[in-house]
Structure 1
Amino acid sequence: MAWWRSCCLGVAVLFVLGFNRGCPLPVQAKESWGYVDVREGAHMFWWLYTANNSSFENLPLIMWLQGGPGGSSCGFGNFEEIGPLDTDLKPRETSWVRAASVLFVDNPVGTGYSYTDSPDALTKDVAMVAADMMVLLRQFFSEKSEFQGIPFYIFSESYGGKMAAAISAELIKAIQKGSIKCNFAGVALGDSWISPLDSVLTWGPYLYSTSLLDDYGLKEVMQAAKTVQQLVEKGQYENATKWWANTESVVEQNTNGVNFYNILTQDDSDLVKSTVGEHGYLSSLKRHIRPLHRHSLAQLMNGPIRKKLGIIPKSVTWGGQAEAVFVNMAGDFMKPVIDIVDQLLAAGVNVTIYNGQLDLIVDTMGQEMWVKKLKWDGLQAFNQMKWTALEDPAAAKQTGAFFKIYKNFAFYWILKAGHMIPSDQAQMALRMMKMVTLQA
């Protein structure tokens, strides 16, 4: 079966999108989309926006990977963060498509518009995720050969960063073997689940330092986190995932429902409230998967966007398999991939870490802890460097971020942003992307 079997637009088609709740909205963009059958019974959806520039060949290609696992890049990343249109289908001034071609992929299979014919085809770990992505990228660069020489970057968010690291490692091998032809230029890991335990163990201290926990609460949170640590150290990863969810419930009860995605906001929705000891992964699914498929976004994706795309099977509901995706990855969820980041650095891959100051689920303290565990030979020199301030593009004379770069490793501390940096600090995120892709 041809991989391009479901694509409804050619490479160079210029069209006008007019789905603004029935009100025509002219947005010129060069787009294409389709499915790749990555395995028998496993169908992955992708959506490409070619850069809004007459000479896209001079701009990078970025693949965006969402978190979860089970969060939709083609939905959330596209319409909530960096795509050319927002959820009201109005032009986004800070769209990354202004400075790059952007490839959204609903990954792993079962996420967003991607689907499997049976639950058995869902992925179990990042190795399986990476193998599937190699099939998609092989076909993508083969069919769209005009992108083979363009610098290709993988940008990610949350669990998407863990997948991005594993995908990058496999991509290097594929390029060396000649099975994929592309100009891989680097990977950027945003608020990424690289070392889950380092995140969990720093929740307490971070919240305490920001006056969101008292001494009693700190003790309770740390006790729960230590249980997660013990399970991880014993290799009981699925139980560790359950206790990770339980620890989040302890945090919620001691902070009066802090928002794990931005500590300065509070979500009083019933979807994110849970009780300690709630069965299985229900509490974590409420907090981290369902908000990525909020009702308004689901209406958009299962309504006008589905109609526009014209290729989504009738049996597939956008996000319908998301919770199953998370549950199937539960045994892999708490495993670290610091060693993979080390492999990338040793191979000379450009690796960027960027993190939001107000993020809790992947707090910056935890990110800094695992970075210090790297065996990379440039780590000592990197640690001795002084960071550089960046002015906030949205507020003159205000600091918007700090960064450090040494050889092929970079770290960006993004201020006034939570877990979804492009949503919270859109202009700063765009500037950071341009710096990473050597446009600024």
Structure 2
Amino acid sequence: MLSGQLLLLVLLGAAQGVPLRESKESWGYVAVRDKAYMFWWLYQADHSTKNYTELPLVMWLQGGPGGSGCGYGNFEEIGPYDTSLKPRNSTWVQAVNLLFVDNPVGTGFSYTTDSGAFAKDVSTVAADMMVLLKQFFGSKPEFQETPFYIFSESYGGKMAAAIGLALYKEIKEGSIKCKLGGVALGDSWISPIDSVLTWGPYLYSISLLDEKGLQEVQGSANKVQEALNRGQYDMATDLWSQTEDIIEQNTDGVNFYNILTKDSTFAGKTDQRSPEFGKAFLGKLYQRHLLPLQNDALSALMNGPIRKKLRIIPDSVTWGGQASAVFFNMACDFMKPVVDIVDELLEANVNVTVYNGQLDLIVDTVGQETWVKTLKWKKLEQFKALKWTALREGQESLETAAFYKAYENFSFYWILKAGHMVPSDQGVTALKMLRMITKQESP
């Protein structure tokens, strides 16, 4: 592979005079199953004093399902360059080696040539990732003793929990050589019903619902709970979508990703490439929660200059071209909780971090706190008894950027003035949190 410096010169053209980092990159495909291929992209750490082999490795998993980490997470949140290909001051590459994976199969530049090969649950997602990680660590032995962390966002957190547990077991069995440092669950869809049931009270408490609106939202949310009690996951997903409609009607279109902004998701933008689009409730969920991760500017970047830079994307593959199929194939998994998996991680003494943006609605902090309180973890009462600690971006800053508390192998970060995409809204605070979680910085 060419170095990142040379490749970016090819990509941007030296005449543009864009500042470039000395950040080395590599990427590739892994056949995780027959006719199913996953794409990964690695940035070596660009630290001022340390060699990249001395720093942790972080894998970033995007949500959706079907959102591209190699695209959205990379260029919109934590990679070395933004969507204008300008250096990002708060990039995580200055602190860690950064591995993006387009996961599940069919996401981003990942693809399948068999319509039956899309994942339908997190168990398949985890199994596919084990194949990729086994090949990755086998081909890059310099990372085998490096602390490896899985960071995630939204539905990526649900997948990260399952992947983290599967990796722990593979390491224990000796089939993957890797040093698991921990799993970080950002604004994660761990217990969907706890989010849905707290939307109404949360919006009412901040004056985005009146009392009548609260009753309507709560009544709809209760129907979601009833469907789950009957094991009707498809019905629960349909009712979840209806609850979101009721919220939009009563709040004049609040944005589910940041309550201080307006939702423009349905401003004439649709994607009807999947035959499943005919299911109205799935179509609405897809438009509201996946299309924003594939905005026109990012799609143009990924299918244009980035595709040319990478040079290995098959002619038949379009970035995001199978995203809708990924989303619809996972539909039966949407409302299933994975709190039990988080409990297993804690019991196995794996470091687990939950972090959440204050202004997020789709995965509101109140809902996150609700499922955390249901953990069977033996040290939960000690954790709950702690008072949180205020965090500031710098020693001289007077403004509180976040709160956190930690007990043994569990920690929780409340990120202020951030919505669903924490690194996008509060990049400096997210970078500080990263350094704390990976044990490079104390509070």
How far off its partner does 1:269 sit? Answer: 4.6
Q: Quick check: 230-239 or 98-107, which moved more?
A: 230-239
State how far apart, in whole Å, the 2-side matches of 1:189 and 1:110 are: 22
| 1:30 aligns to 2:21 (yes or no) | no
| 1:438 aligns to 2:439 (yes or no) | yes
State how far apart, in whole Å, the 2-side matches of 1:272 and 1:437 are: 42
Q: Secondary structure at the match of 1:152?
A: strand
Q: Secondary structure at the match of 1:138?
A: helix
State how far apart, in whole Å, the 2-side matches of 1:266 and 1:20 are: 34
How far off its partner does 1:56 sit? Answer: 1.1
How far off its partner does 1:119 sit? Answer: 1.6
How far off its partner does 1:157 sit? Answer: 0.2
How far off its partner does 1:270 sit? Answer: 2.7
The AA in structure 2 aligned to 1:76 is: Y
Q: Which residue of structure 1 aligns with residue 370 of structure 2?
A: 369
The AA in structure 2 aligned to 1:398 is: E
State how far apart, in whole Å, the 2-side matches of 1:390 and 1:269 are: 33
State how far apart, in whole Å, the 1-side matches of 2:242 and 2:396 are: 39
Q: Secondary structure at the match of 2:190?
A: coil
How far off its partner does 1:393 sit? Answer: 4.2
State how far apart, in whole Å, the 2-side matches of 1:226 and 1:240 are: 10
Q: Secondary structure at the match of 2:151?
A: strand
Q: Which residue of structure 2 aligns with residue 149 of structure 1?
A: 145
Residue of 49, 52, 60 corresponding to 2:46 = 52
> In structure 2, do the counterparts of structure 1 residues 83 and 228 end up closer, same or farther at CA, with 3 Å as the change threshold?
same
| 1:131 aligns to 2:127 (yes or no) | yes
How far off its partner does 1:49 sit? Answer: 0.2
State how far apart, in whole Å, the 2-side matches of 1:402 and 1:82 are: 21
Q: Which residue of structure 2 aligns with residue 294 of structure 1?
A: 295
User: Number of matched residues?
Assistant: 429
User: Residues 14-413 of structure 1: matches in 2 within 5 Å?
Assistant: 15-18=6-9, 19-20=11-12, 23=16, 25=18, 26-53=20-47, 54-271=50-267, 279-393=280-394, 396-413=397-414
How far off its partner does 1:145 sit? Answer: 0.4
Q: Which residue of structure 1 aligns with residue 273 of structure 2?
A: none
The AA in structure 2 aligned to 1:29 is: S
State how far apart, in whole Å, the 1-side matches of 2:22 and 2:239 are: 48
> Structure 2, unaligned stretches of length 5 or more?
271-277
Task: Please list the CA deviations of residues 160-200 of structure 1 after superposition, one character each: whole Å capped at 9, or x if unmatched.
Answer: 00000000110011001111000101000000000000000
> Structure 1, unaligned stretches of length 5 or more?
1-8
Asked if the contact 1:272/1:283 (under 8 Å) is kept, the reply is no
Q: Quick check: 216-225 or 162-171, which moved more?
A: 216-225
State how far apart, in whole Å, the 1-side matches of 2:62 and 2:396 are: 28
Asked if the contact 1:17/1:24 (under 8 Å) is kept, the reply is no
How far off its partner does 1:14 sit? Answer: 5.7
Q: Quick check: 428-437 or 225-234, which moved more?
A: 225-234
Taking structure 1 as the reference length, the TM-score comes to 0.95
The AA in structure 2 aligned to 1:129 is: V
Q: Which residue of structure 1 aligns with residue 274 of structure 2?
A: none
How far off its partner does 1:15 sit? Answer: 3.1
> In structure 2, do the counterparts of structure 1 residues 327 and 278 end up closer, same or farther at CA, with 3 Å as the change threshold?
closer
State how far apart, in whole Å, the 1-side matches of 2:100 and 2:162 are: 17
The AA in structure 2 aligned to 1:15 is: L
Asked if the contact 1:20/1:88 (under 8 Å) is kept, the reply is no
Asked if the contact 1:108/1:123 (under 8 Å) is kept, the reply is yes
State how far apart, in whole Å, the 2-side matches of 1:13 and 1:396 are: 35
How far off its partner does 1:278 sit? Answer: 7.8
Asked if the contact 1:169/1:340 (under 8 Å) is kept, the reply is yes
Task: Please list the CA deviations of residues 293-331 of structure 1 after superposition, one character each: whole Å capped at 9, or x if unmatched.
Answer: 000000000000000000111111100111111110010
> In structure 2, do the counterparts of structure 1 residues 217 and 355 end up closer, same or farther at CA, with 3 Å as the change threshold?
same
